Structure 1
Amino acid sequence: MDNSKMGKHISSQFDVELKGVRNSVLSMGGEVEKQLADAIRAIKESDHELADKVLSNDRKINAFELDIDNACTQLIAKRQPTASDLRQVIATFKTIADLERIGDETKRIAGVAKETFSSEQQHLLASLENLGQLVLNMLRMVLNAFARMDAEEALEVHQSDQGIDRQYEAMLRQLMTYMMEDPRSIPKIMDVVFSARSLERIGDRCQNIAEYVIYNVHGKDVRHTSVETMQDTVRKPRA
């Protein structure tokens, strides 16, 4: 086999292996999305059994991370990727780390569903569910952006976190007011506060994944940059 054919063969093998890794990331993302959706539904329906299922299924997400991490390490060791290929592997490493952390936050959210709330406190759970639906939609969008390596959609996801932050802050004000009016409710309300915080953190994790997509597509690290810089990066031709 001449060098040109050998190079093409190695490149083809890398593409196949990288595609397998990407598919595994999407499977992991699908599991994380399902976990979050189940946690939110468990809160809405006060379903303790479903909450227990979410808590026990977290090990699936951990197993995905370990398997994909190992696959990426093998890719680097065997293929020694460079340029855009290396960016894809790096973006994958970072994405699965954030997906695993989203799974951890989801466990905390599911824990609230196992608590018993009075009829007067049910509206607080409704507010939590509303915030959860916004975050769930954000997760779905960023997974779609990752699947298609769509920098435009990734930018849209990144900017949508501002709406989640506003709703989170409004919910905190509501919860603080409720605790001042009824100090006996403080232990229960703090559970809701911690779950709302977990949802807000999931939004931040989705922002991170959006940044990895932009980095993969355009070859520029947009973390800690201004909105204008990120927009300019996305509008430029692909690297």
Structure 2
Amino acid sequence: MEITTDTHSHHISQQFNNELEDLKTHLLAMGGLVEKQVQDAIYALTEGDSAIAEEVRANDRAINDMQIRIDEECTRILARRQPAASDLRLVMAVTRATSDLERVGDEASKIARHAIKLAEEGEPPRGYIETRHIGNHVRNMIKDALTAFARFDTELALKVAQEDKSVDLEYRSAMRALVTFMMEDPRSISRVLNVIWVLRSLERIGDHANNIAEYVIYLVKGMDVRHSTPESIEERLSES
């Protein structure tokens, strides 16, 4: 059964309706903080702002706490309500999405750590243009994945899955350029390696955004599209 934004508000128990709505609201609040973490981490790196980077690292604890609280909410709903069908899919999708958001927060914290190291070294290394571009790309993917979750929008979720492929191509291109630069100038190796680790974190953030988009499709359509190509996902959606 396909679900809409109204599906989870028709229970006899108004309390159950509220619990499901709160669950979604708390997920989106966590997502908003995670998205800001990514944005701030990229800013800290490209602007050499160690203070912002320290804030990102400090805020990682708040994201972990939010995940724990949301997981506890999901456990209570499963135990008390024993949800079936679309309600169960919502709880499962929220649990999976919070796990990915927590990992995005971890990657933002890693970026912040490298930003501090690079700020201490002073001279900006190569790769900042690519880093800013890919960083903005994956941040928009996180934003779109969360919007798709809020709206139960499978078309937007598919768009996120398609964008992940573009990010992978951009990542590989940037990595090749940086490796070439290190070979030409061995003195740059230490600085450029920090940028390479940042790019790796950004690529992983894109993967997590893609995972959340896949959970949206599972939530709305009941389709498990994990490990599927964007082309096959599009085909399955068109047939449903």
Shared fold, TM over 0.5: yes
Which region of structure 1 is more displaced relative to structure 2, 228-237 or 23-32?
A: 228-237
* Structure 1 contact 151–217 (Cα < 8 Å) conserved: yes
* Structure 1 contact 29–99 (Cα < 8 Å) conserved: yes
Indicate the SS of the match to 2:228: coil
Aligned counterpart for 2:140 among listed residues 130, 133, 137 = 137
Identity %: 45
Unpaired stretches in structure 2, ≥5 consecutive residues = 1-9
Aligned counterpart for 1:168 among listed residues 147, 150, 171 = 171
Q: Distance in 2 between matches of 1:97 and 1:103?
A: 10
Aligned counterpart for 2:73 among listed residues 67, 71, 74 = 71
State TM-score, norm by structure 2: 0.91
Residue 198 of structure 1 pairs with residue 201 of structure 2? yes
Aligned partner letter, 2:236: T
Q: Distance in 2 between matches of 1:107 and 1:180?
A: 29
Aligned partner letter, 2:23: V
Q: Distance in 2 between matches of 1:168 and 1:213?
A: 25
- 1:30-69 correspondence to structure 2 within 5 Å: 30-69=32-71
The CA deviation at 1:122 is 4.1
Deviations 1:20-63 (A, max 9, x none): 01000000000000111101111121101000000011011001
- 1:103-114 correspondence to structure 2 within 5 Å: 103-114=105-116
Aligned counterpart for 1:215 among listed residues 213, 218, 221 = 218
Indicate the SS of the match to 2:225: coil
Q: Distance in 2 between matches of 1:226 and 1:52?
A: 38
Match of 2:4 in 1: none
Q: Which has the higher contact order (CA 8 A, sep 6+)?
A: 2
Indicate the SS of the match to 1:9: coil
Count of residue pairs the alignment pairs up: 229
The CA deviation at 1:118 is 5.4
Q: Distance in 2 between matches of 1:234 and 1:47?
A: 44
Indicate the SS of the match to 2:127: helix
Which region of structure 1 is more displaced relative to structure 2, 30-39 or 127-136?
A: 127-136
* Structure 1 contact 155–234 (Cα < 8 Å) conserved: no
Match of 1:100 in 2: 102
Match of 1:89 in 2: 91
Q: Distance in 2 between matches of 1:219 and 1:70?
A: 24
* Structure 1 contact 218–233 (Cα < 8 Å) conserved: no
Larger radius of gyration: 1
Aligned partner letter, 1:187: S
Distance 1:8 1:15, change over 3 A: closer
The CA deviation at 1:8 is 4.8
Q: Distance in 2 between matches of 1:109 and 1:201?
A: 12
State TM-score, norm by structure 1: 0.91
Unpaired stretches in structure 1, ≥5 consecutive residues = 1-6
Aligned partner letter, 2:79: A
Indicate the SS of the match to 2:12: helix
Indicate the SS of the match to 1:184: helix
Aligned partner letter, 2:31: G
Deviations 1:129-174 (A, max 9, x none): 1111111111111111111110110001001111111110111011
Residue 187 of structure 1 pairs with residue 190 of structure 2? yes
Aligned counterpart for 1:235 among listed residues 211, 214, 238 = 238
